[in-house]
Structure 1
Amino acid sequence: MRSLKVVRSYDAIGSGLGLVVDSYGMLSLCVDRGSAARELNLGQGDLVILSRLEESDQNSTITTSVRIAPKR
């Protein structure tokens, strides 16, 4: 499980992974100037589950918990 920040643009990711609402209105799992698929060892059709952190687990930043599991 990883915690990712939701940002407004790809260049706002900085280091590490982030989530951006792309031009299609979809959440885009991304890494600045790299491949999130390569970094996470994901292929086409692999399952990625996104879930919100519990209120008690959140700090002052906005984050989204991401669980990566093998395709079933």
Structure 2
Amino acid sequence: RKYVAIASLEQRQRYKEDFSAEYEEYQNLHILVDNITNSFRELAEQQKFLTPGSKAYQVKKEKTVK
């Protein structure tokens, strides 16, 4: 939903209520995305130390794709 510039205290209060109603969901999604991003970073970092084509490399690569 698109918001326009606040022109009244009532409008400000409605915007604040909308924000508050959805903020917890946003926080939960943000945490989830951060956790997934960190998992990918860790896998990528571990993969740097493996020989391409090796069994260990393939296992990490498959884990990353899943």
Structures share fold, TM-score greater than 0.5: no
Higher strand share: 1
Q: Shorter-chain TM-score: what band?
A: under 0.3
Relative to the length of structure 2, the TM-score reads 0.23
Higher relative contact order (CA 8 A, sep 6+): 1
